[in-house]
Amino acid sequence: MNVLVVLIPVSLILGSLGLAGFLWTVRSDQYDDDKGNASRILLDDDA
């Protein structure tokens, strides 16, 4: 039971760090490549 006193706050801290990191990447527009991946499939880059 004493382990839960340590594990619950640690898991909440790690979860909030992960959420903060995800929100930071969303706000810094790291997922805004609408046309890049779609057109990259159609391009032939063979020399």
Strands (E) across the chain are located at none
Q: To which residue do tokens 């990259």 refer?
A: 40
The two most distant CA atoms of the chain are separated, in Å, by 64
Q: How confident is the model at residue 32 (pLDDT cuts 50, 70, 90)?
A: confident
- The 3-state DSSP class for residue 16 equals helix
Look at residue 15 and tell me whether its pLDDT is greater than 80.
Answer: yes
Look at residue 29 and tell me whether its pLDDT is greater than 90.
Answer: no
35: left (phi over 0), alpha (psi -120 to 50) or beta: alpha
Look at residue 1 and tell me whether its pLDDT is greater than 70.
Answer: yes
- The 3-state DSSP class for residue 40 equals helix
